[in-house]
Amino acid sequence: MTKSIQIALDGPAAAGKSTIAKIVAEKLGYIYIDTGAMYRAITLKAIREGINLESGEEAGRLLADTRIDLQPSQDGQLVFLDGKNVTEDIRSQNVTNSVSMMAAHESVRKQMVKLQQILASGRGVVMDGRDIGTQVLPNAELKVFMSATVEERARRRFEENKKRGIDTPLDDLQKEIAARDKMDSEREVSPLRQAQDALYLDTTNLSIVDAASEILKLAEERLD
């Protein structure tokens, strides 16, 4: 029996990647790495420090001088930026609106990919993002590209926001998600793409439990 595998989950915003990744990682006793949180953390710092987000040079320099740590927690993962807990702050609309611009810079992606590869090295891991199957873990034993219709993804974010006491109109959420997907898919460096050897999972009509069981079944097949 293979001792542990690497699982790469990619796809557009609100496809359910992190929710499913957390469940799968917990069941398998693996670590979970939310790479989007890392791009969000450096974006938060850039906003706070008034860095020009359009400049790849400034963004790359900022990241080289930054520490981003991920720590497993009951709810999934805590995110630390230069030693300070920013788990909640990185989910603000301000960060969400700017993160794709930050993530488009080659200077930023190069450093992030290296860090993510170190975090995943030699252990059972479930990693979610946009370029995990294509760039970060090209040899992952299981790659899944998860998606759902943009209407369903906006509805999910709407419900999630409501639970957190945030009231953003559904229409605005759908526009924001579509704009981010477009930027992430059309950027020159490591655009959002399904890896050639990734399986496609449409979660539009799948419950969280069913989507997680589907991925666990695929993982177990690779552990046999």
Binding residues: 11-19
* Residue placing its CB nearer to ligand CDP in the complex, 106 or 223: 106
Interaction site with ligand CDP (CB under 6 A): 11, 13-19, 35-37, 39-40, 99-100, 103, 128-132, 156, 160, 180, 184, 203, 206-208, 211
Least Å distance, CB 168 to ligand CDP, is 13
Q: Which residue has the CB atom at the shortest distance from ligand CDP?
A: 36
Least Å distance, CB 116 to ligand CDP, is 8
* Residue placing its CB nearer to ligand CDP in the complex, 10 or 124: 10
φ, ψ for residue 6, nearest 5 deg? -105, 135
* Residue placing its CB nearer to ligand CDP in the complex, 111 or 203: 203
Long-range Cβ contacts of 214-223 (<8 Å, 24+ apart): 215/7, 215/9, 215/20, 215/24, 215/142, 215/144, 216/24, 216/27, 216/28, 218/142, 218/144, 219/5, 219/7, 219/24, 219/28, 219/142, 222/2, 222/5, 222/141, 222/142, 223/1, 223/2, 223/4, 223/5
Least Å distance, CB 224 to ligand CDP, is 26
Known binding residues for ATP are 11-19
- Classify residue 143 by its DSSP letter: E
Least Å distance, CB 11 to ligand CDP, is 6
DSSP-H helix ranges across 33-92? 35-48, 56-64
How buried is 207 (Cβ within 10 angstroms: 0-12 exposed, 13-18 middle, 19+ buried)?
exposed
Least Å distance, CB 182 to ligand CDP, is 10
* Residue placing its CB nearer to ligand CDP in the complex, 49 or 75: 75
* Residue placing its CB nearer to ligand CDP in the complex, 35 or 111: 35
* Residue placing its CB nearer to ligand CDP in the complex, 105 or 219: 105
Least Å distance, CB 52 to ligand CDP, is 18
Output the CA torsion 40→44→49→54 (10° steps): 50
The first and second tokens of residue 17, run together, are: 């990647």
CA distances from 3 to 107, 198, 220 (A): 35, 21, 11
